[in-house]
Amino acid sequence: MTPAHLAKYEPVIGLEVHAQMLTQSKAFCSCSTEFAAAPNHNTCPICLGHPGTLPALNENLVRFIVRMGLATNCQIRPRSIFARKNYFYPDLPKGYQISQYETPICHDGFLDVELKDGSIKRIGITRIHMEEDAGKSIHDFGAETLVDLNRAGVPLIEIVSEPDMRSSDEAYAYLTTIKAIVTYLGICDGNMEEGSLRCDANVSVRLRGAPKFGQKVEVKNMNSFRNVQRALESEIERQIGLVEAGEPVIHQTMLFDANKGVTRAMRTKEEAHDYRYFPEPDLLPVTVNAAYLDEVRTEIPELQRARRDRFVADYKLPIYDAGVLTAEKSVADFFETATVSLTSKTDESIKAISNFIMGDVMRLMSERKENILQLKLQPQHLSELVGLIQDKTISNKIAKDIFPDLLGSTDSPKQIVEKRGLVQVTDTAALRATVLEIIAKNPGQLGQFKAGKTNLFGFFVGQVMKASQGKANPEMVNELMREELEKA
Ligand code: ADP
Ligand code: ZN
Ligand code: MG
């Protein structure tokens, strides 16, 4: 996109996000939602669509979507019904998907999204409705297609935005906000790569200042936040090219090819009437009253942005650090538990906890592809470790060395330090003896140092640290070394 194009044209974007709910069982039967199971293991006559079976609504699906509706400032409909969305596909055994059509349970909300420059943009939420997932067709076996119905009937919510976004950056910011909310609410794991969060992007372009929107195109098949942004950019460019050439934009569905970074046409878009929606006769209407809403309201925790801002205010952390620590609720919880158990709670020790989490903890999480709970690190152990550095029992170096051993350990840092004799050496006489020994052992370096190569100071200190196996107190070594080199 050339700047001239962007000065002339305005992109318009609306997103439809599917979020898979973290309920234990499926939407309308008691099959497990767990995916690691063997193909077609989590199925029963209901989700297989056998004649004569009746669906029964999973109450947690309602609870989860109401949490989402309240967190996105939606109106909650006191009485909503399900509808059948009819289409034929091998992975849809019933021949229809249970969804909501004219009466989505949540509607007319909004989200205030923070953009890169820190400004806030309000994005309207048209509706959020409940539906079930289809199965999965597997085409990896040559001419044969296999069908796995473990996913058939897994509960989803669909969050439909107003066409309020005006750039791919805004779409990206909106999606990250949705992810933060669903994960904080504990209703979805938010993993786009694994498909628990899926996004269809609707995009059009118009001349800036034009009174009406242009023809929209729907883009599918993006499996990461970055790819949504790339897909939007390439689609905006394609549409501007068409308009510039005087060609029409066709109402169709495009697929994003992540390797080539371009969108290509998949099919012309089906219209709602193609689905022959009609009310689901086998399910009762969903009714929610004020008492239920009050109850669900208590299940909504402090959300990410509020928590980040509180971390800045309460813990005097830089906003960047607070953002990193609160990106995942489990990490933010861990940080706060560790902080509470600090014996001496100072800005310095709190920052030390934050640094440990942002450094060693997160590095291990990404290396092992584990979340903070799976690491099996006790937050109390981290605060004790930081306490040991602060009271100079151990050096930073030793703390880093023993840190990996704390994972899954029942021994506390103190016990590990004692068992391995890692207590920091702060005995001046002993340290001075080592300092003198190192100076005596390195006459060549000493000569160069005295001749003006003062950066050899680090070499001498390093040798002492090495000789003490990292146990010497570094500040004391520095001081003693300075004294002794002057005299030498
Ligand atoms: P459809 O009838 O094709 O389902 P909807 O009006 O229900 O279309 O909108 C579907 C999605 O497309 C919504 O997220 C909406 O914000 C977005 N959308 C609607 N019109 C446009 C447009 N002209 N340009 C970009 N996005 C749009
Ligand atoms: Zn089932
Ligand atoms: Mg629609």
Can you give the three-state secondary structure of the chain, one letter per residue?
Answer: CCHHHHHHEEEEEEEEEEEECCCCECCCCCCECCCCCCCCCCCCCCCCCCCCCCCCCCHHHHHHHHHHHHHCCCEECCEECCEEEECCCCCCCCCEEEECCCCCCEEEEEEEEECCCCCEEEEEEEEEEEEECCCEEEEEECCEEEEECCCCCCEEEEEEECCCECCHHHHHHHHHHHHHHHHHHCCCCCCCCCCCEEEEEEEEEEECCCCCCCCCEEEECCCCHHHHHHHHHHHHHHHHHHHHCCCCCCCEEEEEECCCCEEEEEEECCCHHHHCCEECCCCCCEECCHHHHHHHHCCCCCCHHHHHHHHHHHHCCCHHHHHHHHCCHHHHHHHHHHHHCCCCCCHHHHHHHHHHHHHHHHHHHHHHCCCCCCCCCCHHHHHHHHHHHHCCCCCHHHHHHHHHHHCCCCCCHHHHHHHCCCCCECCHHHHHHHHHHHHHHCHHHHHHHHCCCHHHHHHHHHHHHHHCCCCECHHHHHHHHHHHHHHC
Give which of 179, 176, 173, 169 is closest to 230, Cα–Cα: 169
| Number of Cβ atoms within 10 Å of the Cβ of 317 | 21
Max Cα–Cα distance, the chain, nearest Å:
96
Is the beta carbon of 204 within 6 A of some atom in ligand 1?
Answer: yes
For 459, counting Cβ atoms within 10 Å of its Cβ (0-12 exposed, 13-18 middle, 19+ buried), the class is: middle
Question: Which ligand 1 atom sits nearest the alpha carbon of residue 161?
Answer: 14
Question: Which ligand 1 atom sits nearest the alpha carbon of residue 162?
Answer: 16
In whole angstroms, what is the distance from residue 20 CA to residue 182 CA?
A: 10
Tokens 């750039």 belong to 167
Q: State yes or no: pLDDT of 238 exceeds 90.
A: yes
Is the beta carbon of 177 within 6 A of some atom in ligand 1?
Answer: no
Residue 428 CA: distances (Å) to CA of 219, 425, 446, 486: 69, 8, 22, 17
Q: Which pLDDT band, with edges at 50, 70 and 90, does 6 fall under?
A: confident
Q: What percent of the chain has pLDDT over 90?
A: 85
* Average pLDDT of the segment spanning 288-310: 97
Pocket test for ligand 1, best of 126, 165, 216, 239 (most atoms within 8 A of CB): 216
Q: State yes or no: pLDDT of 355 exceeds 90.
A: yes
Is the beta carbon of 162 within 6 A of some atom in ligand 1?
Answer: yes
Among the bound ligands, name the one nearest to the CA of residue 53.
Answer: 2
Cα 134 to ligand 3 centroid, rounded to whole Å: 19
Is the beta carbon of 124 within 6 A of some atom in ligand 1?
Answer: no
Cα 219 to ligand 3 centroid, rounded to whole Å: 14
Cα 29 to ligand 3 centroid, rounded to whole Å: 27
Is the beta carbon of 171 within 6 A of some atom in ligand 1?
Answer: no
Is the beta carbon of 236 within 6 A of some atom in ligand 1?
Answer: no
Cα 267 to ligand 3 centroid, rounded to whole Å: 17
> pLDDT per residue over 409-436, tens digit each?
999 999 999 888 888 888 899 999 999 9
Question: Which ligand 1 atom sits nearest the alpha carbon of residue 203?
Answer: 25
Q: For residue 474, what pLDDT is reported?
A: 86
Tell me what the pLDDT averaged over the chain comes to: 94
> pLDDT per residue over 95-113, tens digit each?
999 999 999 999 999 999 9
Q: Which pLDDT band, with edges at 50, 70 and 90, does 181 fall under?
A: very high
> pLDDT per residue over 56-95, tens digit each?
999 999 999 999 999 999 999 999 999 999 999 999 999 9
Is the beta carbon of 218 within 6 A of some atom in ligand 1?
Answer: no
Q: What residues contact 457, with CB distance under 8 A and at least 6 apart?
A: 449, 481, 482, 485
Evaluate whether 378 touches 406 at the Cβ level (below 8 Å): yes
Q: Which pLDDT band, with edges at 50, 70 and 90, does 192 fall under?
A: very high
Q: For residue 270, what pLDDT is reported?
A: 65
Is the beta carbon of 231 within 6 A of some atom in ligand 1?
Answer: no
| Number of Cβ atoms within 10 Å of the Cβ of 144 | 8
Domains of the chain with CATH codes: 3-295 (no CATH), 304-419 (no CATH), 428-487 (1.10.10.410)
Tokens 């003062």 belong to 454
Give which of 141, 229, 145, 165 is closest to 192, Cα–Cα: 229
Hey, what are 468's tokens? 């003490």
Cα 187 to ligand 1 centroid, rounded to whole Å: 26
421: left (phi over 0), alpha (psi -120 to 50) or beta: left
Is the beta carbon of 203 within 6 A of some atom in ligand 1?
Answer: yes
Q: State yes or no: pLDDT of 228 exceeds 70.
A: yes
Cα 101 to ligand 3 centroid, rounded to whole Å: 9
Is the pTM value of this prediction over 0.85? yes
In whole angstroms, what is the distance from residue 479 CA to residue 84 CA?
A: 78
Tokens 């790569």 belong to 193
Hey, what are 11's tokens? 């992109």
Q: For residue 142, what pLDDT is reported?
A: 83
Question: Which ligand 1 atom sits nearest the alpha carbon of residue 269?
Answer: 3
Evaluate whether 208 touches 7 at the Cβ level (below 8 Å): yes
Residues for the chain: how many in total? 488
Q: State yes or no: pLDDT of 4 exceeds 90.
A: no
Evaluate whether 104 touches 142 at the Cβ level (below 8 Å): no
Q: State yes or no: pLDDT of 269 exceeds 70.
A: no
Please report, in angstroms and rounded to a whole number, the separation of the first and last CA atoms in the chain. Answer: 67
CA 315 from chain centre, in angstroms, equals 23
Q: State yes or no: pLDDT of 272 exceeds 70.
A: no
Nearest CA to ligand 1 atom 17: 14
Among the bound ligands, name the one nearest to the CA of residue 218.
Answer: 1
Is the beta carbon of 382 within 6 A of some atom in ligand 1?
Answer: no
Q: State yes or no: pLDDT of 1 exceeds 80.
A: no
- Name which of 123-127, 172-176, 452-456 the model is least confident about: 452-456
Pocket test for ligand 1, best of 166, 202, 219 (most atoms within 8 A of CB): 202
- Name which of 19-23, 30-34, 320-324, 470-474 the model is least confident about: 470-474
Among the bound ligands, name the one nearest to the CA of residue 55.
Answer: 2
If one compares 474 and 65, the residue with the highest pLDDT of the two is 65
Cα 150 to ligand 2 centroid, rounded to whole Å: 8
Cα 291 to ligand 3 centroid, rounded to whole Å: 31
- Name which of 45-59, 113-127, 259-273, 472-486 the model is least confident about: 259-273
CA 94 from chain centre, in angstroms, equals 34
Cα 167 to ligand 1 centroid, rounded to whole Å: 15
Question: Which ligand 1 atom sits nearest the alpha carbon of residue 214?
Answer: 23
Residue 95 CA: distances (Å) to CA of 42, 48, 129, 202: 19, 10, 20, 26
* Average pLDDT of the segment spanning 283-298: 98
* Average pLDDT of the segment spanning 363-387: 95
Is the beta carbon of 127 within 6 A of some atom in ligand 1?
Answer: no
Q: State yes or no: pLDDT of 267 exceeds 80.
A: no
Hey, what are 163's tokens? 């066409």
